[in-house]
């Protein structure tokens, strides 16, 4: 009997069924994991924490994936939206240090979905990644890491997506991660990508930024500059130049690497840009 089956017997009680759930973020890794697990755990429940602020490409990818899985992907919506919580947090935009958005818009709906049922949650951390896991501390929720257990790397993920005919989400041509369109984990070049591909969303993101004239307090998505400052032609040109330099250096190091890998692997020294797992896998 496997560890999972042993644990399954331990946590099951007469009143609770054991559940197997897999969260889709709209990113490549969780999509590949869903395809990888489809026939291994037929009773799997798939879910997507929809903040209501995801990219159009993410919604489209989730719909396509649903067809490939042949099962519904349950959309989990928060009971109160971002604007509500922004007021609760006194207008402070979320940041790496104050990541209330993940807790309120993603983690809370997920924990409500699971309730008190003993649940295995399947997480798409790969074997070639060095990051830890799981945000929920509820004792009835047990994380499972199939990619780590099976030695699945990024190359394997790409192969799984290719073999199933799903491919990558289309936003990968200009953005490396899933998540809200205004996510503060975006790189500068990705903010410019948002402006180019979804100018209306870029404008909406700008509306959230405020500078308090009296106190000088700045409420901006990036700590060091506002989107108004970032989009100025000379600043935008500088960001593009720096990005192209990074890409060129990465190409020199590994000429056969595909552009997507170079883009996603290039190190951004502006800030620590590791989003939470529930938003980015």
106 binds ligand SF4 (CB under 6 A): yes
65 binds ligand SF4 (CB under 6 A): no
55 binds ligand SF4 (CB under 6 A): no
Least distance CB 160 / ligand SF4 (angstroms): 24
Number of residues located near ligand SF4, criterion CB under 6 A = 14
Within 10 A of 274 (CB to CB), how many other CB atoms are there?
11
Least distance CB 94 / ligand SF4 (angstroms): 5
Least distance CB 135 / ligand SF4 (angstroms): 11
181 binds ligand SF4 (CB under 6 A): no
183 binds ligand SF4 (CB under 6 A): yes
Q: Which is nearer to ligand SF4, 30 or 102 (CB)?
A: 102
58 binds ligand SF4 (CB under 6 A): no
Q: What is the DSSP string of the chain?
A: --HHHHHHHHH-BTTB--EEEEEE-SSHHHHHHHHHHTTT-TTPEEEEE--S-B-HHHHHHHHHHHHHHTS-EEEE--SS-HHHHHHHTTT----SS--HHIIIIIIHHHHHHHTTS-EEEE----TT----------TTEEEE-HHHHTT--HHHHHHHHHHHT----GGGGT-S--SBTT-TT--HHHHHHHHHH-HHHHHHHHHT-EE-TTT--EE-SSSS--HHHHTSHHHHHHHHHHHHHHHHHHHHH-TTS-HHHHHHHSPP-SS-----TTT--
187 binds ligand SF4 (CB under 6 A): no
Q: Which is nearer to ligand SF4, 59 or 68 (CB)?
A: 59
Stretch that binds ligand SF4, among 101-109, 130-138, 139-147, 258-266 (CB under 6 A): 101-109
Stretch that binds ligand SF4, among 9-17, 40-48, 66-74, 96-104 (CB under 6 A): 96-104
62 binds ligand SF4 (CB under 6 A): no
Burial of 105 (0-12, 13-18, 19+ CB in 10 A): buried
Least distance CB 25 / ligand SF4 (angstroms): 8
Give the x-and-dash track for 258-277 against ligand SF4 (CB under 6 A). -----------------xx-
Q: Which is nearer to ligand SF4, 122 or 185 (CB)?
A: 185
Cα separation, 186 vs 94, whole angstroms: 13
Give which of 250, 234, 278, 253 is closest to 108, Cα–Cα: 278
51 binds ligand SF4 (CB under 6 A): yes
Burial of 27 (0-12, 13-18, 19+ CB in 10 A): buried
180 binds ligand SF4 (CB under 6 A): yes
Least distance CB 108 / ligand SF4 (angstroms): 11
101 binds ligand SF4 (CB under 6 A): yes
105 binds ligand SF4 (CB under 6 A): yes
The footprint of ligand SF4 (CB under 6 A) covers 51, 94, 99, 101-102, 105-106, 179-180, 183, 185, 275-276, 279
């Amino acid at each position: 009997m496997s560890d999972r089956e042993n644990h399954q017997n331990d946590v099951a009680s007469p009143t609770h069924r054991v559940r197997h759930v897999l969260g889709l973020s709209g990113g490549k890794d969780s999509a590949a994991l869903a395809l990888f697990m489809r026939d291994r755990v037929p009773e799997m429940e798939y879910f997507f924490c929809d903040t209501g602020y995801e990219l159009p490409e993410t919604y489209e990818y989730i719909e396509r994936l649903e067809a490939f899985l042949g099962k519904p992907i349950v959309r989990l919506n928060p009971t109160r939206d971002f604007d509500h919580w922004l007021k609760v947090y006194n207008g402070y935009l979320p940041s790496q240090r104050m990541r209330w958005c993940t807790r309120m818009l993603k983690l809370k709906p997920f924990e409500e979905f699971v309730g008190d049922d003993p649940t295995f949650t399947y997480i798409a951390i790969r074997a070639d990644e060095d990051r830890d896991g799981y945000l929920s501390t509820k004792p009835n929720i047990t994380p499972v890491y199939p990619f780590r257990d099976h030695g699945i790397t990024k190359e394997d993920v790409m192969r799984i997506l290719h073999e199933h005919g799903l491919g990558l989400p289309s936003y990968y041509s200009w953005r490396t991660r899933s998540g809200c369109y205004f996510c503060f984990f975006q790189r500068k070049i990705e903010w410019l990508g948002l402006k180019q591909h979804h100018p209306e969303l870029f404008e909406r993101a700008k509306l959230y930024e405020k500078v308090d004239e009296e106190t000088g307090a700045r409420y901006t998505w990036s700590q060091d500059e506002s989107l108004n400052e970032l989009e100025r032609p000379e600043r935008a040109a500088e960001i593009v130049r720096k990005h192209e330099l990074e890409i060129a250096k990465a190409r020199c190091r590994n000429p056969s690497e595909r552009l997507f890998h170079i883009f996603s692997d290039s190190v951004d020294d502006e800030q620590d840009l590791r989003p939470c797992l529930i938003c980015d896998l």
